[in-house]
């Protein structure tokens, strides 16, 4: 099933989300901070114009930026996630095949469509997304994902495109011209080291990579880069997926609000991460067979003793029970933690995921344990329901305080306008 592919990408997504419910932020420089309010992870156009780089630590932000009216926001993933879902449902109403890619990007499959009419169709779609969600998007259309990515960037960069740009294959002169003036390091999938090696071998532009011999690329690099080269030449190398693929691993980790040495305190944080991981596991209908626990000190604090390590606990049988997963995580922590270190971050990874429906009974498992499992399933379903309807953290496994040293700092968080009753926007009539 081949056909044109479109990439829909929300412009400056996190900043745009902040503006949806606070219109006064339109035109103002808005920067969204990482977890713990550490550094800048998203910038509005105005912030980019101020010369503030991605990843700038909050304490390095220049005074001049604040004088220019810089508005800071803590990450508000509950809001971003909800708005992302709205964009997705809008897309699903207007495209035959939608494959979510990240919180702010989706691929659209247009197999069987006449490429000639697609630009207009996508302009209309872009307009609808904006009307229904308040979020501006750009759309790139091309025969392959790598080219669609390039088209998308062009659409974003040049307002004259009306936010939509379409590329063809190498036989199209306009496509060739764009590839020729695109440095190879700006191609999707080619970054830092590989870009340097390609340049040393004389491959400097996207066009040169598109025209390189795929077998040569494969022998010098890998199949990944070979695929990128083929895609640039207009041959799609991945299928569009009809349904959401499940994650193969679920990682949950956070830095602490401050460095922590106390075992009990870290244990509490880890319980929160393990529970959250288990919740996501159940949401995608999987079971895990192994829990990896990670614990690390602050690598930037060079004057302090360093310790970072991971340990993997194999579970007796695949499970999605918060209790079993938390228990395994705590076993892992007991092996990792050392007295006298001040830790900065801990987390869990749920590994070896399988689909819940494919669960097999263990050889040594007594058949009557089915009843116990059903009880556990019902309990987990109730726990998830309560946390969904009353907000995360309403029911927890073991103590997980809302105010604790391990909790994230988020001093500049906006309201969770669409997911919390008590934070809903108010309209006052007078």
User: What is the binding site for DNA (CB under 7 A)?
Assistant: 34-36, 38-39, 41, 55, 57-60, 101-105, 149, 187-195, 222-224, 247-255, 280, 298, 300-301, 345, 347
Residue 423's contacts (CB-CB under 8 Å, 6 or more residues apart) are 415, 416, 417
Give the containing element (helix H, strand E) for 318: strand 308-319
| Least CB distance to DNA at residue 347 (A) | 5
What is residue 248's DSSP assignment?
S
| Least CB distance to DNA at residue 311 (A) | 9
| Least CB distance to DNA at residue 161 (A) | 19
Burial zone of 259 (CB within 10 Å; 0-12 exposed, 13-18 middle, 19+ buried): middle
Q: SS3 of 12, please?
A: coil
d(CA 322, CA 424): 30
Contact 39, 68 (CB under 8 A): no
Residue 168 or residue 257: which is nearer to DNA going by CB? 257
Residue 248 or residue 388: which is nearer to DNA going by CB? 248
Residue 108 or residue 121: which is nearer to DNA going by CB? 108
| Least CB distance to DNA at residue 9 (A) | 8
d(CA 34, CA 29): 17
In the structure encoding, which two tokens stand for residue 269, read together? 């944080």
| Least CB distance to DNA at residue 329 (A) | 13
| Least CB distance to DNA at residue 255 (A) | 4
Residue 6 or residue 190: which is nearer to DNA going by CB? 190
Positive or negative: CA dihedral 339, 340, 341, 342 = positive
Residue 121 or residue 198: which is nearer to DNA going by CB? 198
In the structure encoding, which two tokens stand for residue 417, read together? 């306008």
| Least CB distance to DNA at residue 107 (A) | 11
* Residues pairing with 327 in the sheet: none
Residue 82 or residue 113: which is nearer to DNA going by CB? 82
In the structure encoding, which two tokens stand for residue 394, read together? 């309403």
Residue 134 or residue 185: which is nearer to DNA going by CB? 185
What is residue 398's DSSP assignment?
S
Residue 80's contacts (CB-CB under 8 Å, 6 or more residues apart) are 13, 14, 17, 103
Residue 25 or residue 42: which is nearer to DNA going by CB? 42
Contact 2, 106 (CB under 8 A): no
| Least CB distance to DNA at residue 222 (A) | 4
| Least CB distance to DNA at residue 61 (A) | 10
Contact 281, 323 (CB under 8 A): no
Residue 81 or residue 373: which is nearer to DNA going by CB? 81
Distances (CA, A) of 340 to 254, 259, 263, 384: 21, 12, 10, 37
Residue 63 or residue 300: which is nearer to DNA going by CB? 300
d(CA 253, CA 265): 15
Count CA atoms closer than 13 A to 265's CA, side-chain side.
Answer: 17
d(CA 358, CA 377): 16
Burial zone of 294 (CB within 10 Å; 0-12 exposed, 13-18 middle, 19+ buried): buried
| Least CB distance to DNA at residue 253 (A) | 3
d(CA 173, CA 177): 6
| Least CB distance to DNA at residue 99 (A) | 13
Burial zone of 344 (CB within 10 Å; 0-12 exposed, 13-18 middle, 19+ buried): buried
Residue 12 or residue 121: which is nearer to DNA going by CB? 12
């Amino acid at each position: 099933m081949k056909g044109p592919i479109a990439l829909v990408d929300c412009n400056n997504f996190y900043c745009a989300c902040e503006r949806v419910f606070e219109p006064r932020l339109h035109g103002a420089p808005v920067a969204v901070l990482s977890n713990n309010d550490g550094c800048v992870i998203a910038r509005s156009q105005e912030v980019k114009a101020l010369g503030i780089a991605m990843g700038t630590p909050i304490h390095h932000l220049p005074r001049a930026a604040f004088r220019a009216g810089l508005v800071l926001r803590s990450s508000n993933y509950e809001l971003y996630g909800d708005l992302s879902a709205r964009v997705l449902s809008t897309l699903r109403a207007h495209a035959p095949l939608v494959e979510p890619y990240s919180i702010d990007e989706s691929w659209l499959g247009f197999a069987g469509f006449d490429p000639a009419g697609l630009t207009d169709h996508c302009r209309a779609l872009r307009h609808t997304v904006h009307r229904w969600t308040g979020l501006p998007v750009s759309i790139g259309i091309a025969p392959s994902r790598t080219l669609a990515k390039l088209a998308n960037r062009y659409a974003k960069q040049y307002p004259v495109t009306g936010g939509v740009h379409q590329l063809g294959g190498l036989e199209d002169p306009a496509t060739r011209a764009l590839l020729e003036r695109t440095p190879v390091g700006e191609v999707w999938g080619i970054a830092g080291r590989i870009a340097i090696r390609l340049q040393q071998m004389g491959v400097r532009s996207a066009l040169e990579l598109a025209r390189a011999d795929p077998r040569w690329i494969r022998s010098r690099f890998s199949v990944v880069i070979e695929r990128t080269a083929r895609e640039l030449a207009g041959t799609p190398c991945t299928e569009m997926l009809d349904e959401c693929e499940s994650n193969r691993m679920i990682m949950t980790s956070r830095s602490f609000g401050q460095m922590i040495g106390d075992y009990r305190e870290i244990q509490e944080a880890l319980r929160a991460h393990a529970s959250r991981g288990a919740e996501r596991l159940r949401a995608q209908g999987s079971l895990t067979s192994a829990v990896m626990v990670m614990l690390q000190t602050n690598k930037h604090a060079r004057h302090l003793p360093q310790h970072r390590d991971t340990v993997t606990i194999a579970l007796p049988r695949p499970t999605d029970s918060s209790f079993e997963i938390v228990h395994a995580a705590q076993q892992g922590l007991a092996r990792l933690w050392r007295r006298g270190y001040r830790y900065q971050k801990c987390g869990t990874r749920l590994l070896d995921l399988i689909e819940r429906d494919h669960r097999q009974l263990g050889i040594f498992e007594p058949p009557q344990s089915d009843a116990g499992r059903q009880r556990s399933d019902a309990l987990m379903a109730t726990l998830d329901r309560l946390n969904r309807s009353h907000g995360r953290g309403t029911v927890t496994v073991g103590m997980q305080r809302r105010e604790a040293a391990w909790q994230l700092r988020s001093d500049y968080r906006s309201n969770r306008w669409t997911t919390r009753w008590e934070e809903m926007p108010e309209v006052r009539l007078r």
